[in-house]
Amino acid sequence: MDRVTLRGLRARGYHGVFAHEREQGQTFVVDLVLSLDSRPAAAGDDLTKTVHYGVVAEEVVEVVRGEPVDLIETLAERIAERCLKHEAVREVEVVVHKPDAPITVPFDDVSITITRSRV
């Protein structure tokens, strides 16, 4: 499998279990690895036979900005489902970072990583 990687997609979302997270929102950062066979696209230099990463980026931001959920696990799952709607994508790794998570001790990052594939 070949991979298309997007790192550092940023969007403001209103996800979390605490009221202030839902009211004030915060920035979420998403990294993606889209697994696909790029040979058909490369052979014909044809965008329609691969995944349009610009479209994927816009869709991921739309999910982050969309309906609030309690858990970043749920957010990651929704992002994975959206990515797998693209015909060329066979598997996706999604990392959702929550750099402003409500933690009372110093930290660099909180994230969830999931991998989903077509069944």
User: Can you tell me the distance from the alpha carbon of 96 to that of 99, in angstroms, rounded to the nearest whole number?
Assistant: 10
Q: Please indicate whether residue 85 is annotated as part of the active site.
A: no
Calculate the alpha carbon distances from 2 to 55, 58, 72, 93, 113 in Å.
Answer: 19, 22, 27, 13, 19
User: Can you tell me the distance from the alpha carbon of 51 to that of 5, in angstroms, rounded to the nearest whole number?
Assistant: 11
**Phi (first) and psi of residue 99, to 5 degrees:** -65, -15
Catalytic residue among 9, 86, 98, 111: 98
- Rg value, the chain, Cα: 15
Active-site annotation, residues: 98
